[in-house]
Amino acid sequence: MKIKLLTHQLILLTMALFLNGCRKEDLIITDPAKEVFNFIVTDAQRLFINESRGEQYEITDPIPELHLAGEIFTIDRFQIRGANTLNFERKGFSVNMDRKITLYNQGEKIDRKFEEFKLLAMVYDYTYIENSTAVGLFKEVDLWPVYSFFTEVSLSGHTQGLYHFIEDPVEYFIEQKNSSFVVRRGYDHVVKACSLSPVSKIGLQEYIDRYKIIYSNLASYSGQQMYDTLSAYMDLEQYFTKLSIDLLLKNGDYTDEIFFYTKLKDNKEVFGVFPWDYDDLFADQPHEIGNSWATGTIFGHRSYNSLNDVVDDVGSKLLFSIEDDLDYKIAKDDFLYQQYLKTLRNVIEKIDLATIDKIFDYTNEHIGPFYSNDSIVAQSRYDDKETNYDLFLTYLAEKRQMLKDRRNWILQEIDNQQIK
């Protein structure tokens, strides 16, 4: 009896020592999508977050804590993020942990550690299926390497509704993929934001200049020479692939929703492509129509009041938008456009009907259960458009069929336009 008791005590002691030796920040959380990301804030902070409009800011004094799966995690920086979404009650958050937090990646079946991540409120993402659809498609064409999932967010127990957790792309490319430089494109190809790796051997301005060369050459070259010049600075295949998905999804806003990051291709450092913020899909018309302030200026002032104006300028091309000057050049240059059509065909053939079904089934399985939580659904009244479960199912079915029909139409148009 004494031996059994001693053994039991040793087991308890060993377990206690093991648990005490583990930092809470290193504990593994099983399927974080099923947990609530509950940020502990004061009542005054919560009210300010919900009531503020039109400004980005950092929450301090005190800095919030994260309560997740029964554990408490300290935070280094908690920011209110976004652009137009800042004008809604449900805010987006950018979180920088004090120490890296370990989450279990269900897709890769591995543990991953994160110091920075985004929680997107999706206030424009009608019925919350659009980001999920886009991510699913980009995964199929190897343009979505970051970890993401959908989850509930609360502020001191007050639900904020459904959010899209996304691993911070800048941190991912610099720390996980050893990128030296990451830049987010703005309208008229300005540098909207950029980050340089602390171990980069080249200065920030030199990388900015490399990015700008992509655009400064657009008016100088054409045909094969233009294609070769662009390929010397960027992964054109990746860029063509992104444009292909934008066409399929009728993405209404993508000029300033893209990151470029340095990568090695054929032993040369070029800019790779990462898509961002897909909450304006299935648009009736591209963003440049009626928004002359948004078009690029390399080829002079361009203004379009209708789709007919676009066709009159570039023809009936298989690009959803020509707002950015690079996209405009692709549409106008016969050689570039034919190279793009090759990629477009490969992408659309890969995204077959079964793949579309798989992506929409995934969305139904992973977002549908959140609709059983009335408090989460009720938060949609603060979004651009309110939703409910019936609307979710209807929109899911409509867009599933729309993508299938659109895919078939694109393939027919490629046959008509591609030079064999």
Picking from 323, 337, 347, 305, the residue whose alpha carbon sits closest to that of residue 418 is 337
pLDDT-based confidence at residue 16 (cuts at 50, 70, 90): very low
Q: Where are the beta strands (DSSP E) in 10-130?
A: 36-40, 57-58, 65-68, 71-81, 92-105, 110-120
Query: What DSSP string runs through 156-218?
Result: TTEEEEEEEEEE-HHHIIIIIS--SEEEEE-GGG-EEEEEE-TT-SS-HHHHHHHHHHHHHTT
CA 273 to CA 117: how far, in whole Å?
19
pLDDT-based confidence at residue 27 (cuts at 50, 70, 90): low
Tell me the average pLDDT of the chain: 93
H helices within 250-304, ranges in order?
none
Using DSSP's 3-state secondary structure scheme, residue 194 falls into strand
Q: Classify residue 26 as left (phi > 0), alpha (psi -120 to 50) or beta.
A: alpha
**Beta carbons within 10 angstroms of residue 334's beta carbon:** 11
Strand order in the sheet with 258-265: 191-196, 181-185, 258-265, 268-275
Q: What is the mean pLDDT of residues 208-230?
A: 97
Q: Say if residue 5's pLDDT is above 80.
A: no
Q: What is the per-residue pLDDT across 295-351, written as a single tens digit (0 to 9) for each?
A: 999 999 999 999 999 999 999 999 999 999 999 999 999 999 999 999 999 999 999
pLDDT-based confidence at residue 280 (cuts at 50, 70, 90): confident
Q: Say if residue 12's pLDDT is above 70.
A: no
Q: Say if residue 226's pLDDT is above 70.
A: yes
Structure tokens of 143? Answer: 């343009």
Measured CA to CA in angstroms, residue 156 lies from 31, 43, 160 at distances of 21, 8, 10
CA 41 to CA 165: how far, in whole Å?
19
Q: Strands 191-196 and 158-167, how do they pair?
A: unpaired
Structure tokens of 110? Answer: 């591995």
pLDDT at residue 394, as a whole number: 98
Structure tokens of 296? Answer: 């690029």
pLDDT-based confidence at residue 97 (cuts at 50, 70, 90): very high
pTM for the structure as a whole: 0.92
Q: What pairs with residue 93 in β-bridges?
A: 80, 119
Q: What is the 3-state secondary structure (H, E, C) of 33-55?
A: HHCEEEEECCHHHHHHHHHCCCC
Q: What is the mean pLDDT of residues 12-32?
A: 53
pLDDT at residue 106, as a whole number: 79
pLDDT at residue 345, as a whole number: 98
Q: Is the peptide bond before 286 cis (omega within 30 degrees of 0)?
A: no
pLDDT-based confidence at residue 2 (cuts at 50, 70, 90): very low
pLDDT at residue 21, as a whole number: 43
Q: Say if residue 107's pLDDT is above 90.
A: no
Picking from 70, 173, 155, 144, the residue whose alpha carbon sits closest to that of residue 119 is 155
Q: Say if residue 265's pLDDT is above 80.
A: yes
Residues present in the chain in total: 420
Q: What is the per-residue pLDDT across 352-400, written as a single tens digit (0 to 9) for each?
A: 999 999 999 999 999 999 999 999 999 999 999 999 999 999 999 999 9
Q: What is the mean pLDDT of residues 264-273?
A: 96
Q: Say if residue 20's pLDDT is above 80.
A: no
| Terminal alpha carbon distance of the chain | 86
Q: What is the mean pLDDT of residues 131-138?
A: 97
pLDDT at residue 17, as a whole number: 40
Number of H helices, E strands in the chain: 13, 12
CA 100 to CA 109: how far, in whole Å?
19
Q: Say if residue 26's pLDDT is above 80.
A: no
